[in-house]
């Protein structure tokens, strides 16, 4: 099945992007530090990034891909290209207007977003300048999402998956130059890092445009008109934007609650960075690959193939997310210690962050399953139901956070996030099953139960092995020693897990390799 090959290809490129992202973050910390210039840069970068998340990524993954895939399946290539042309033309006009208005009124627009900067005019002015430099990044990312959606609909995933690597590389090149130049002027450094981000956005867009042009599906620009396909797009897109807004509200409220305790936000940030790594590699890759696959099968009336694709995606996600979750829980303290425990990040910070990571890890399978079940709605052009469920999960998250925070501090927020993710997952699965769109045979249920058992067995092995390796992982041990010890634990865990998966017959490794080599 091509689903296996496409998923692992996207996952591999996502992993490469995340590795470069860690390198970028390390260099950025060294160049910008945590002073006023760093605050100005992160505020400036967050502003277009917020709109990118609300509009570009969510809309074109949930609204455009099903419409385009359906037209491709039912009406042919020319009709699909015409629909893409009309929708992308609207996008271009919208982006030009928004960018011009934002550049003109940037100072007034930023006031409600960074009210704390107003007492420091120099810091606020730098933030305005940096935001003006990088705001066109929104246009680059939005067009990349549109063109990437067309490529995904055509079953071409690699260019759009590799593009984020180019952003990180461009930023790293600028950061390395700043390290060598040593200007010792934080504002100067921040300006050049912002220019690097903007350059990275242009390079990403250029790669996707080149890949799309090779397919012959490059949409031409026409003066926007309103027809049924455009109306349908906006009908699906608006709930998708609301869902994105709900998520941002969730994060914002969690930050407000966490700010009531010293260092709580930092503990949650570092724990979040770690569990987001497997989530990005597994969950996002599944969502990107599964949505166009489901859309094509459903529009073509191939219901059995659609069910098989959904269940295959579920199997892949559980094969990878369950061991990742149990390993993060079993090795939370060693992982945090090796990666972060140095300088101002002491043993107490390691313990506090590890507690949050354990709570997040328990929710990792749910976060991934959301990415598996949501395409079942989006492929059927239903963006309202997942949005309503997301809204309910946010209410659950906030209520549990407020209830647990007085007793458990930042860990209470992590627990609330995990519980709300499971509520979201269960609701999505229940409604899909109730509508007859999801059915898991008894044999598959047993298979998933076995995966859980094997993942727990691997976690037990890791926990037991960590005991004799404790001196190598101690705070006073050398960095190289700790890296070697953690590497041994990870290697043993992988070997134990995949050996048990093979021996129990959950997934024969030979069969898995054959599926990865298969192109159709």
DSSP-based three-state secondary structure for 104: helix
pTM of the model: 0.73
Domain-embedded: residue 133: yes
d(CA 469, CA 488): 9
Domain-embedded: residue 8: yes
Residues 6+ apart with CB under 8 A from 154: 72, 215, 217
The domain tally of the chain equals: 1
CB atoms within 10 A of CB 470: 11
DSSP structure string for 265-299? HHHHHHHHHHHHHHIIIIIIHHHHHHHHHHHHHHH
Q: Looking at residue 1, what is its pLDDT?
A: 44
Q: pLDDT digit string (tens) for 418-462?
A: 998 899 999 999 999 898 888 888 888 888 899 999 999 999 998
pLDDT at 173 over 80: yes
Task: Count CA atoms closer than 13 A to 154's CA, side-chain side.
Answer: 24
Over residues 332-344, mean pLDDT: 75
d(CA 406, CA 411): 10
Residues 6+ apart with CB under 8 A from 477: 471, 485
Residue 170: in which H helix or E strand, if any?
helix 158-181
- Angle between helix 509-517 and helix 479-503 axes, rounded to 10 deg: 100
Q: pLDDT digit string (tens) for 464-491?
A: 888 888 888 776 777 778 888 888 888 8
Residues 6+ apart with CB under 8 A from 165: 13, 16, 17, 20
Residue-range definition of the domain harbouring residue 219: 1-225
Residue in 280, 375, 299, 3 with CA at minimum distance from that of residue 155 = 3
Query: Can you count the helices (H) and strands (E) in the chain?
Result: 22, 0
Residue 149: in which H helix or E strand, if any?
helix 136-153
Q: Residue 96 has which token pair?
A: 């030009």
Instruction: Assess contact for 9 and 161: CB atoms under 8 A.
Output: yes
How many residues in total does the chain contain?
A: 520
Backbone angles phi, psi at 220, to 5 degrees: -90, 160
DSSP-based three-state secondary structure for 172: helix
Higher pLDDT, 404 or 160: 404
Q: Residue 234 has which token pair?
A: 């906006």
Over residues 77-84, mean pLDDT: 82
Q: pLDDT digit string (tens) for 346-356?
A: 778 788 888 98
Residue in 289, 273, 401, 406 with CA at minimum distance from that of residue 345 = 273
Q: Looking at residue 520, what is its pLDDT?
A: 47
d(CA 177, CA 195): 13
Higher pLDDT, 55 or 449: 449
Residue in 465, 439, 455, 441 with CA at minimum distance from that of residue 504 = 455
Residue in 391, 443, 434, 104 with CA at minimum distance from that of residue 253 = 391
Higher pLDDT, 508 or 483: 483
DSSP-based three-state secondary structure for 226: coil
Residue reference for tokens 């054959």:
514
**CA of residue 43 relative to chain centroid, distance:** 20
Domain-embedded: residue 430: no
Instruction: Assess contact for 404 and 416: CB atoms under 8 A.
Output: yes
Domain-embedded: residue 294: no
Domain-embedded: residue 208: yes
d(CA 520, CA 517): 9
Instruction: Assess contact for 504 and 520: CB atoms under 8 A.
Output: no
Domain-embedded: residue 297: no
The percent of residues above 90 in pLDDT, for the chain, comes to 12
Query: For residue 207, what pLDDT band results from cuts at 50, 70 and 90?
Result: very high
Instruction: Assess contact for 482 and 338: CB atoms under 8 A.
Output: yes
Q: Which letter, b or e, does each residue of 408-439 get, where b requires 16 or more Cβ atoms within 10 Å of its Cβ? A: bbbbbbbbbbbbbbbbbbebbbebbeeeebbe
Q: Residue 316 has which token pair?
A: 């892949």
Residue reference for tokens 């609300």:
54
Domain-embedded: residue 260: no
Q: Residue 206 has which token pair?
A: 């250029």
d(CA 325, CA 493): 12
Residues 6+ apart with CB under 8 A from 360: 271, 272, 274, 275, 328, 414, 417, 418
**CA of residue 140 relative to chain centroid, distance:** 18
Domain-embedded: residue 218: yes
Q: pLDDT digit string (tens) for 291-332?
A: 677 777 777 777 777 777 778 778 888 888 899 899 999 888
Q: pLDDT digit string (tens) for 98-120?
A: 899 989 999 998 887 777 678 78
Higher pLDDT, 276 or 498: 498
Q: Give the residue ranges of DSSP H helices in 52-76.
A: 58-59, 65-74
């Amino acid at each position: 099945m091509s689903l296996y090959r496409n998923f692992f290809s996207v996952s591999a490129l996502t992993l490469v992007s995340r590795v470069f992202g860690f390198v970028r973050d390390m260099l950025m910390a060294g160049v910008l530090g945590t002073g006023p210039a760093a605050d100005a840069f992160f505020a400036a970068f967050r502003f277009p990034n917020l709109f990118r998340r609300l509009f570009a990524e969510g809309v074109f993954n949930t609204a455009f891909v099903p419409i385009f895939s359906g037209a491709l399946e039912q009406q042919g290539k020319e009709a699909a290209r015409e629909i893409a042309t009309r929708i992308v033309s609207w996008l271009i006009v919208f982006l030009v207007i928004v960018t011009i208005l934002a550049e003109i009124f940037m100072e007034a627009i930023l006031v409600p977003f960074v009210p704390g900067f107003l007492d420091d005019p120099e810091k606020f002015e730098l933030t305005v300048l940096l935001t003006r430099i990088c705001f066109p990044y929104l246009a680059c990312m939005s067009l990349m999402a549109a063109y990437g959606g067309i490529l995904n609909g055509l079953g071409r995933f690699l260019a759009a998956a590799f593009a984020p690597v180019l952003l990180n590389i461009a930023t790293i090149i600028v950061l390395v130059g700043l390290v060598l130049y040593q200007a010792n002027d934080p504002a100067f450094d921040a300006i050049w890092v912002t220019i690097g981000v903007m350059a990275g956005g242009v390079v990403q867009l250029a790669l996707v445009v080149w890949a799309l042009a090779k397919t012959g599906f490059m949409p031409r620009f026409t003066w926007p008109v309103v027809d049924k396909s455009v109306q349908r797009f906006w009908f699906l897109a608006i709930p998708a934007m609301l869902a994105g807004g709900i998520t941002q509200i969730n994060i914002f409220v969690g930050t407000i609650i966490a700010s009531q305790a010293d260092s709580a936000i930092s503990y949650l940030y570092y724990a979040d960075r770690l569990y987001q790594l497997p989530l990005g590699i597994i969950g996002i890759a599944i969502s990107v690959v599964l949505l166009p696959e489901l859309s094509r099968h459903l529009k073509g009336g191939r219901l059995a193939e659609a069910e098989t694709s959904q269940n295959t995606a579920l199997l892949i996600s559980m094969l990878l997310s369950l061991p990742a979750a149990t390993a993060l829980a079993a090795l939370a303290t060693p992982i945090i210690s090796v990666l972060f425990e140095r300088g101002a990040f002491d043993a107490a910070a390691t313990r506090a962050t590890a507690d949050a990571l354990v709570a997040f890890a328990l929710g990792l399978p749910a976060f991934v399953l959301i990415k598996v079940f949501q395409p079942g709605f989006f492929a059927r052009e239903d963006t309202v139901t997942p949005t309503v469920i997301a809204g309910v999960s946010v209410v659950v998250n906030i209520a549990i956070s407020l209830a647990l925070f007085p007793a458990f501090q930042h860990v209470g927020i992590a627990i609330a996030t995990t519980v709300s993710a499971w509520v979201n997952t269960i609701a999505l699965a229940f409604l899909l099953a109730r509508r007859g769109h999801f059915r898991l045979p008894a044999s598959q249920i047993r298979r998933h139960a076995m995966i859980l058992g094997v993942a727990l067995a691997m976690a037990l092995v890791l926990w037991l092995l960590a005991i004799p390796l404790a001196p190598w992982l101690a705070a006073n041990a050398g960095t190289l020693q700790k890296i070697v010890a953690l590497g041994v634990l990870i290697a043993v865990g992988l070997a134990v897990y995949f050996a048990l998966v093979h021996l129990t017959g959950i997934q024969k490794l030979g069969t898995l390799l054959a599926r990865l080599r298969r192109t159709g």
